[in-house]
Structure formats: structure tokens, C-alpha cells
Structure 1
């Protein structure tokens, strides 16, 4: 599972929101499918650029991720390496393309969980939002907030009241 971090969580939410609002979506197009839309958000590449990179390799996202070689120099491998730098794993990319990560699916109500279709915009939006919530739930316990400054303010407020 992805390394939970704010940048990835926000990218998942922004991608889901854009898809919900009508961003280009076509599951059979490497630049505007599930992974392609998230890749657009994280890398700022266009759907056309992502698709062009993918056409230099073979297969869909799952197959290209399976054949991923970080030292090949191929544009698609460089793109995948960039996505991994955001905390994603190769399994995350394969699961996103098919909406198949068990931990994400377990959080979706049972009546909807078994009806998800990997190539339906609304299902992709639901999956991405739930994945973002899962990552956020993992990240929040790690966040430490220093509130020591409040103790000095409280002390000074009480000192002025006396």
C-alpha cells in the first residue's frame, strides 16, 4: 500500500473531484483512464503526453507496471518511477486500474463493493475518495502538533488578569 502522505492524499481527492465534475475519462486511453488521470494530477503531464509515453511500450497500465524497469530510460518507465516517488507502489497502480485493492474495497459498503466496475467514472471516483480516506486515517496518527506555544499564551493571559 502507498506511503501515506498529504501530497498523495490531496492528489487522489483532486483527481476524484475533477472526474466527478466531468474531466476526460476513457478507460481504454492510457492518459485518461484511472491511472492516467491520477498521473496527470501528480506529474502535470497531459493525457496526450501520458498516452504517447505508453504507446512506446506494450500493454495497459497493469502490463506496463509489470514490465517496469527504473533504468530502461523509456518514457513510461520514467513516468512510473515518478509516480512511485509520490509514495505509490507498483501494486497500487495495478490495483487502481482495476479498482481491486482489498483494503480500499473493505471500506466500501458491501452493497456497492461487489458492483464496482473498473471502467465506470462514478466507481473510480468512489474508489479514489475511499483510498484517500484510508491513507488519511493512516497518516493522522503520525501527525504531531506542537501546542507548547499555547501554554505561554495562557500564562500571559492569566498574568494580565491578576
Structure 2
């Protein structure tokens, strides 16, 4: 599961909002699919640039994640590296493209867990639930000093 970072949480929320507001969505387009839309937020590249980078190697996001090399200078690997630096894992990319991470899906009522990976509304719901999950994980790590621990001057 992703490392809960404010950058990633905000990117998931912005991506969901962009999709809600009519951002280009096409599951079969590497820059306009589930991962592609999130990549736009995290890298500030547009969908066509992302698609062009991805087409320099074979495969969809699942295969791109499998073939990722951290020392490669291929544009798609540099793009994926930016996404990983924001808190994602390679497995997250695979799950996002298929909307199938069990921890995210567990946040939905049982009858609503069968999301379709290529339906805009399902992608929005998944990203929103994922952002909420990551935010809860991030907040759980924060501990504030108690009043007794604070030294007053």
C-alpha cells in the first residue's frame, strides 16, 4: 500500500475532482486512463506526453510497472519514479488501473465493491476512498504532545 503523504492524498483528490469536472478519460489511453490521470496530477505532464512516453515501451500500466527500472533513463521510468517518490508503489499502479486493491474496496459496502475499471464514476469513487484511507493512515501517525509535556515559558 502507498506511503500516506500529503502530496499523494491531494493528488488523488484533485484527480477525482478533475474527472468529476469532465477531464478527458479513456481507459485505453496511457495518459487518459486511471493511472494516466493520476500521473498528470503528480508529474504535471499532459495526457499526450504521458502516452508518448509509455508508447516507447510495450504494454499497459501493469506491464510498465513490471518492466520499471529505477536506473533507466527511459521517460516512462522517470515518470513512474516521480509517482513512486510521491508515495505510490508499483503494486499501487497495478491496483489503480484495475480498481482492485482490497484495502480500498473494503471501504465500500459489499454490494458496491464490484467496481468496473473503465467506468469514470467508479474511478472517482475508488480514488476518493483511497485518499480517505491514506489520510486516516497519515493522521494515525501524528502524535501531539500532551499539555503536561509542553514546557511553558
TM over 0.5: yes
How far the C-alpha of 1:151 sits from its partner, in A, is 9.0
Q: Note if 1:144 corresponds to 2:149.
A: no
Report what 2:120 is aligned to: 121
Distance 1:137 1:107 in 2: 12
User: Match for residue 156 of structure 1?
Assistant: none
Q: CA deviation at 1:141?
A: 1.6
Root mean square deviation of aligned Cα = 1.7
Q: 1:144 Cα shift?
A: 3.4
Check if 1:95 corresponds to 2:82: no
The Cα shift of 1:147 comes to 7.8
Structure 2: distance between partners of 1:151 and 1:112: 50
Distance in 2 separating the partners of 1:59 and 1:85: 22
Q: Deviations over 1:1-24 (max 9, x none)?
A: 000111111110010011011100
The answer for the alignment partner of 1:81 in structure 2 is 81
- The structural deviation recorded for 1:99 is 0.3
TM-score, normalised to structure 1's length?
Answer: 0.88
Residue deviations 1:90-114 (CA, integer Å, cap 9, x gap): 0000000000101001111111112
Which residue is equivalent to 2:29?
29
| Partner SS for 2:11 | helix
TM-score of the aligned structures, taking structure 2 as reference length: 0.93
Please give the alpha-carbon distance, in whole angstroms, between the structure 2 residues aligned to 1:84 and 1:97: 15
**Equivalents in 2 of 1:144, 1:43: separation in Å?**
31
In 2, Cα distance between equivalents of 1:100 and 1:137:
20
- 1:71 deviation in Å? 1.3
Equivalenced residues, count? 151
